[in-house]
Amino acid sequence: MWNEVKTNLSSAKVYLKEFLFFNAIFILLLFFIVENKIILITLIALILLFGLIFLNVVGYKRNRELKTIESVISGIRKNTINHPEEIKLKENLHSLQDEIQQMFEKERNDIEYLKRLERMRTEFLANVSHELRTPIFAIQGYIETLLDGAIDDEKVNKYFLDKANQHTINLSNLLNDLIDISMIESGEMRMSYRYFDINDYLSQIIQEMMPIAREKNIELVYHPAKEGLQLFGDKSRLKQVFINLITNAIKYTEQGKVEVLIVEESKYGKIIIRDTGIGIPQEDINRIFERFYRVDKARSRAVGGTGLGLAIVKHIVEAHNSKIEVKSELGVGSEFSFKLKK
């Protein structure tokens, strides 16, 4: 009991100055008002006693509040608190309670975010290793077969060399994509924005892509915009975007056509790449921009895809303060579009 009183009083020590100040005023007043010495001493003793009792009560309450705060903090530290609603303080400490709850929530979100990043990093590394392994194993296999004697067999030697060569091309494409991704994500990719003639620019890209389309018997059509239309962007980075989107359109189309068109709006030019291909299931549309995500892994790998193309496209389009939109219907076709400033 005495120990508790001592703790209470020591907790209330912060109010000691105020306590002494008011007591001194009362006692001074009593000196002037009360003449009888015995009454005066009794009153002073009573004032001091009540003062001490009051300090004890204040100290007791303060102690209890501090203990609750302490137990909340230790609960957060020891992870025994899992929800912000479990953080409860006395009514008069509502704003402190709100602050602690918000701090708890923010910390939990930060930790979740870091965990997610860590998971993504591990996943990314696993994907990279897996994707590197495929062409390296293939090249190794072809070289070993050639060394084991196939090199002298006129019927297959060129075929194996061609295959090995194709895999080195895939490997080199994969490495270039990885370098791009890491440059974009570390903020090292320098952009250089200029106005350029979109018709000249796109017709040239379409010409370059024509042989690939022709090889698959797919019609590749460009519908030019109004003559002289200038759009604003980084030409060399945008070339990566167009090559990726048009290559995809051709790769994932069995028959029909791929069209590139520009819809002019008041402040923007909207560029659309439309195909009559296999389409993308609705549930996959939001995921195709993730690194290494492929709707049909086997099919995509067969056409030489690693699933990095659209991740790069998204980054570059967003660096242009734009957003890439996708509309697609299974078996009917897909349409990718984004806007560039006029």
Ligand X SMILES: Nc1ncnc2c1ncn2[C@@H]1O[C@H](COP(=O)(O)OP(=O)(O)OP(=O)(O)O)[C@@H](O)[C@H]1O
Kindly tell me which of 125 and 175 has the beta carbon lying closer to ligand X.
Answer: 175
Binding window for Mg ion (CB under 5 A); candidates: 30-38, 83-91, 200-208, 240-248: 240-248
Which partner from the list ligand X, Mg ion, none does 300 bind, CB cut-off 5 to 8 Å by kind? Answer: ligand X
Phi, psi of 308 (to 5 degrees): -100, -20
Using CB under 5 A, which residues numbered 194 to 223 contact Mg ion? none
State which of positions 285-314 bind Mg ion (CB under 5 A). 309
Provide the token pair at 131. 């994707």
Contacting residue, 11, 170, 248, 322, with Mg ion by CB under 5 A? 248
Q: Which residue from 290, 295, 261 is spatially nearest to 278, judged by alpha carbons?
A: 295
| Residues 143-182, mask of contacts with ligand X (x by CB under 6 A) | ----------------------------------x-----
Smallest separation (angstroms) from ligand X to the CB of 171:
12
Q: Specify whether the CB–CB gap between 87 and 68 falls below 8 A.
A: no
Residue with smaller CB distance to Mg ion, 309 or 333: 309
Q: Which of 81, 139, 280, 340 contacts ligand X by CB under 6 A?
A: 280
Q: Which residues, 6+ apart, have CB-to-CB distance to 318 below 8 Å? A: 324
Q: How far is CA 7 from CA 16, 93, 339, in A?
A: 14, 22, 70
Of 76-84, 117-125, 289-297, 316-324, the segment contacting ligand X by CB under 6 A is: 289-297
Q: Interface with Mg ion includes 277 (CB under 5 A)?
A: no
d(CA 264, CA 339): 9
Q: Which does 307 bind (CB under 5 to 8 A by kind): Mg ion, ligand X, none?
A: ligand X
- Sign of torsion over alpha carbons 85, 88, 94, 96: negative
Smallest distance from ligand X to CB 288, Å:
4
Neighbours of 217 (CB within 10 A): 9
Say which entry of Mg ion, ligand X, none residue 218 contacts (CB below 5 to 8 A, set by partner kind). none
Q: Output the CA angle 133-172-336, nearest 5 degrees.
A: 100
- What tokens appear for 284 in the block? 């996959």
C-beta of 159: minimal distance to Mg ion in Å? 27
Close Cβ partners of 199 (under 8 Å, ≥ 6 residues apart)? 224, 225, 227, 228, 229
Q: CA angle at residue 207 from 203 to 208, to 5 degrees?
A: 120
Piece in contact with Mg ion (CB under 5 A), picked from 6-14, 119-127, 173-181, 247-255: 247-255
The residue sitting closest to ligand X, measured at its beta carbon, is: 309
Between 100 and 280, CB nearer to ligand X: 280
Shortest spacing between CB 121 and ligand X, in angstroms = 19
Is residue 288 a contact point for ligand X (CB under 6 A)?
yes
Task: Lay out the sheet containing 257-264: strands in order across.
Answer: 219-223, 257-264, 268-275, 333-341, 325-329
Window contacting ligand X (CB under 6 A); options: 12-20, 133-141, 248-256, 315-323:
248-256
Around Cβ 81, how many Cβ atoms within 10 Å? 19
Our finding on whether 278 is near ligand X (CB under 6 A) is yes
Q: How far apart are CA 112 and CA 125, in angstroms?
A: 20
Q: Per CB under 6 A, which of residues 292..321 are in contact with ligand X?
A: 293-296, 300, 305-311
DSSP E strands in 106-199: the ranges are 194-197
Q: Please select the residue that binds ligand X; options are 277, 316, 320, 340, rule is CB under 6 A.
A: 277
Residue 337 within binding range of ligand X, rule CB under 6 A: no
Residues 312 and 244 sit within 8 Å (Cβ to Cβ)? yes
- Return d(Cα 256, Cα 92) in angstroms, integer: 72
Could you tell me the smallest distance in angstroms from the CB atom of residue 338 to ligand X?
14
Residue numbers at the binding site for ligand X (CB under 6 A): 177, 244, 248-249, 252, 275, 277-280, 288, 293-296, 300, 305-311, 334
Residue numbers at the binding site for Mg ion (CB under 5 A): 248, 309
